[in-house]
Amino acid sequence: MRLQSPKLALLLGAASSTLAFAGAAHAQQAQAETTSATALEEIVVTAERRSVNLQKAPLSVAAVSGDQLRAVTADGGDILALSGKVPSFYAETTTGRIFPRFYIRGLGNIDFYLGASQPVSIIQDDVVLEHVVLKSNPVFDVQQVEVLRGPQGSLFGRNTTAGIVKFDTIKPSEDLKGRFSASYGSYGTTTFDGGVGGPIADGLMFRASVLYQHRDDWVDNTFNGVSADGTVTPKKNAMGGFTEKDARLQVLAKPNDKLSALVSAHVRSYEGTSTLFLRNAITKGSNNVSVPRDKVAFDEAANNPQAYDTYGISAHVDYDFGPVTLTSISALEHTKGYSRGDTDGGAAANFPVGGVPNGFGQSQGRVRDLDQLTQEIRLASNGDGKLKWQVGGLYFDSRDTTEFDQRGVFLLPTSAGYNPNNWVLLNNLNTSWAVFGQASYQLTDALTITAGIRDTYDAKKTVLVKTSNNAANVSTYTGRRYVRLADEQVSWDLSANYQVNPDVSLYARTAKGFRGPTIQGRSAVFNADFTTADSETIQSYEVGFKSFLLDNTLRFNASAFTYEVKDIQLNGNDSNGNGVLFNADKAQAYGVEADMEWRPVQNLLLTAGASYLHSEIKDKRVYAQVCALNGVVVCTVENPTIKVGANTFAQIDGQPLPNAPKYNLNFTARYNIPVSDAGRFFVATDWNVQGYTNFVLYKTKEFYAKGAFEGGLKLGYENLDKGYEIALFGRNITNEKNLKGVIENYMAAVYNEPRIVGVSLSAKLK
């Protein structure tokens, strides 16, 4: 369904964002209103593997409730919906829904290699998800999301230099409980996110959760020429849709007061469209984009299909010995699938050079098989004494067989360039172990000191099983076929929390983080040698305060930070346009971030967040290849450049980190209009504004975003007694066309999602 009327779109859009981010759980608001007309409720986080009031955690952490997350994904959105909703957190993708890339305080990874290492760690129900495909596992029936900003080396999963995004789902309970959220909107966008659980027998309980998301294809392929690989064109509604089907079953056994065992199994089936690159959407000399979202002219790649199947199982066992609790977390994750795309973003016949079609390009990445095994053991003290401690160990093993296919494989045998051998096969192995410990001690009633340390060993190995041969099946590859890198380092953190009074606390934290060495193997498909990067380390410092003000009606938290990353791992292109991985000397950054939640009157809730970041790459020796096609620089480069043969490279010293917004501002508001003791109408809205964000390593007049914004709106009615809500909603209600990524040599753009408006229904079983 395509809603073309601007007035209708704005009306429904206004209805959409209401619940959006400010529509936090009606159960939470009901609780707040029964205790005080305006007082805010306490937020509990597990940022230190213990349940603690957010206001007393000695680090920068933001919490998003499950209801808040579901509100901003009513349009079929995925984990990327959090981008810009949390200060200092940014996310994007150029490989569809199966390959999100995350950034915290500017640190992330722009590489689209399937084996890429990211400095932001994703943890779902205490299980670390390392591979980029596993990081796209949908989050549904969620209780809470926590974003931990800064290095997190002591307690969680793998080492991480940037931070952690931690998802906790709703767990089984002894009482029968259930909830669901459903919506329908533009382009046939349909969602259902629900869960139900309760007792099976004494000491045995369950929870079953499901997610269904679907969008019809809505983008037309207008190419009306001859396709060398048999892609059917022109075709109306050829791409843009997806179908996501997920389920999870949890069984919790508590045979006595000492033992708790939670077993969880999940499965995912996904089919959809990979990211659409829009060739020549960017005009030289400007970052304005104007080509339509709903039309492309792709001559190849079968309309950009992608599909993945994933399953996993985990067991979380706790045994309370009295003074201490022993915890074991075992998990196995498996996935396989592929993603194919027209990488030039258009039809070569439409961009001739000398009368000859120019810029054929397509590729496919396929994970034939991936298995990740993790085992964590932890021993933690119990009680409310002055000393709290925990020690543990982690073993991590990830191995996959990954295939990269280039254009020649897909061409019809009668087409020029057909080469059935134009693909490579790689075996990747990553093993890691770590031992860690943390202790906190309450020196006085007001001052608590916390320290943690971790020793990590990380090893990666890549084997080139099959080279990309020519049409006669002869290999011309001269690079390495086996690479192994390993490193062992100690990371640590030290923090102090001072409780000025019951409503205000101050904290300071310093931490050293470590990201192990990385191998980039995809370049072998272009007959180029592997590229590698050594370990990077970060030293971070931050100070902040957390406060409850105005008689507990205002929560205001803020922090300031600075860090230096030595031997930072970066990604660029080589002289042949192939992706390369390398180390720069260092990167430095500083910034501030703040979160506010305020209920000035009983029926009005306001939230706001802001972050500012200044980052710089520091290395005068490092240059990055610039935008060039057929030897011609196609964009406006503003850095000093050098020539290497026919290729142009730009100096990146002093450049900001890529995909690191200069600032992010977000705001939400919700106003309730009571119509009975339990019933009320509401209107809610949320907005996000993004500051200057560079998409590449060098400075241009084209490849950046500045001042991009999106808004949501929601209008509805809810009944607190009966626990249901019905609403009109809209996401991106002004239908902003924001630049989210680029393909440099083709001046191709990646846009944000279009406006989605619709209706939603949610309910809770009490």
The b/e string for 29-41 (b: 16+ C-beta within 10 A; e otherwise) is: beebbeeeebebb
Using an 8 Å Cβ cutoff, are 349 and 751 in contact? no
The b/e string for 536-563 (b: 16+ C-beta within 10 A; e otherwise) is: bbbebebbbbbbbebebbbbbbbbbbeb
pLDDT tens column, 421-465: 999 999 999 999 999 999 999 999 999 999 999 999 999 999 999
Angle formed at CA 234 by CA 230 and CA 237, multiple of 5 degrees: 110
Burial class from Cβ neighbours inside 10 Å (0-12, 13-18, 19+) for residue 70 reads: buried
* 512/490 Cα distance (integer angstroms): 8
How is residue 344 written in tokens?
């030039």
The pLDDT confidence band at residue 589, using thresholds 50, 70 and 90, is: very high
- Segment 524-552 shows an average pLDDT of 94
Going by DSSP bridges, is the β-strand pair 163-169/120-124 parallel, antiparallel, or unpaired? parallel
* 15/731 Cα distance (integer angstroms): 9
Using an 8 Å Cβ cutoff, are 458 and 117 in contact? no
SS3 label, residue 67: helix
Q: Does 751 score more than 80 pLDDT?
A: yes
* 503/506 Cα distance (integer angstroms): 11
SS3 label, residue 702: coil
Q: Looking at 30-34, 570-574, 646-650, 659-663, which range is the least confident one? A: 30-34
* 695/531 Cα distance (integer angstroms): 22
- Segment 712-739 shows an average pLDDT of 96
pLDDT of residue 273: 97
pLDDT of residue 303: 96
Helices first, then strands: H and E counts in the chain = 4, 47
Q: Does 474 score more than 80 pLDDT?
A: yes
The pLDDT confidence band at residue 279, using thresholds 50, 70 and 90, is: very high
Q: Does 15 score more than 70 pLDDT?
A: no
**At which residue do the structure tokens 């810009």 appear?**
84
- Segment 350-376 shows an average pLDDT of 93
Burial class from Cβ neighbours inside 10 Å (0-12, 13-18, 19+) for residue 384 reads: exposed
Q: Does 40 score more than 80 pLDDT?
A: no
- Quickly count: other Cβ atoms within 10 Å of residue 235's Cβ: 16
* 101/116 Cα distance (integer angstroms): 10
DSSP 350: G
- Segment 304-321 shows an average pLDDT of 97
pTM of the predicted structure, to 2 decimals: 0.92
Higher pLDDT, 605 or 1: 605
Q: Does 35 score more than 70 pLDDT?
A: no
pLDDT of residue 196: 97
The pLDDT confidence band at residue 565, using thresholds 50, 70 and 90, is: very high
pLDDT of residue 327: 95
Q: Does 577 score more than 70 pLDDT?
A: no
- Strands (E) in 120-258, as ranges, are 120-124, 127-129, 142-149, 163-169, 177-185, 189-201, 204-215, 219-221, 235-239, 242-253
Q: Identify the CATH class of 6-765.
A: mainly beta
End-to-end Cα, the chain, rounded Å:
35
Percentage above 70 pLDDT, the chain: 93
Q: Does 14 score more than 80 pLDDT?
A: no
pLDDT of residue 32: 38
The pLDDT confidence band at residue 621, using thresholds 50, 70 and 90, is: very high
Alpha carbon 159 to its chain centroid, in Å, reads: 17
pLDDT of residue 84: 85
pLDDT of residue 48: 64
* 513/160 Cα distance (integer angstroms): 6
Phi, psi of 712 (to 5 degrees): -130, 160
DSSP H/E element including 173: none
pLDDT of residue 111: 83
The pLDDT confidence band at residue 103, using thresholds 50, 70 and 90, is: very high
Which of 75, 489, 138 is closest to 309 using CA atoms? Answer: 138
Partner residues linked to 581 by β-bridges: 571
* 48/392 Cα distance (integer angstroms): 13
pLDDT tens column, 644-667: 888 899 999 999 999 999 999 999
- Segment 48-54 shows an average pLDDT of 70
Q: Does 135 score more than 70 pLDDT?
A: yes
The per-residue pLDDT of the chain, averaged, comes to 90
Which of 461, 583, 470 is closest to 525 using CA atoms? Answer: 470
**At which residue do the structure tokens 């194919």 appear?**
340
pLDDT tens column, 151-190: 986 666 567 889 999 999 999 999 999 999 999 999 999 9
Alpha carbon dihedral 30, 32, 36, 37, in 10-degree steps, equals: -60
DSSP H/E element including 66: helix 66-72
pLDDT of residue 467: 96
pLDDT tens column, 669-709: 999 999 999 999 999 999 999 999 999 999 999 999 999 99
Which of 172, 167, 158 is closest to 124 using CA atoms? Answer: 167
The pLDDT confidence band at residue 26, using thresholds 50, 70 and 90, is: very low
Q: What is the 3-state secondary structure (H, E, C) of 423-456?
A: EEEEEEEEEEEEEEEEEEEECCCCEEEEEEEEEE
Alpha carbon dihedral 135, 136, 139, 140, in 10-degree steps, equals: -150
- Quickly count: other Cβ atoms within 10 Å of residue 419's Cβ: 18
pLDDT of residue 158: 66
pLDDT tens column, 218-259: 999 999 999 999 999 999 999 999 999 999 999 999 999 999
Q: Provide DSSP, 460-484.
A: EEEEEEE----TTS-----S-SEEE
Q: What is the CA radius of gyration of the chain?
A: 26
Using an 8 Å Cβ cutoff, are 78 and 95 in contact? no
pLDDT of residue 572: 83
- Segment 614-626 shows an average pLDDT of 95
Task: Using the Cα atoms of residue 53, residue 55, residue 56 and residue 60 in order, give the sign of their dihedral.
Answer: positive
Using an 8 Å Cβ cutoff, are 439 and 450 in contact? yes
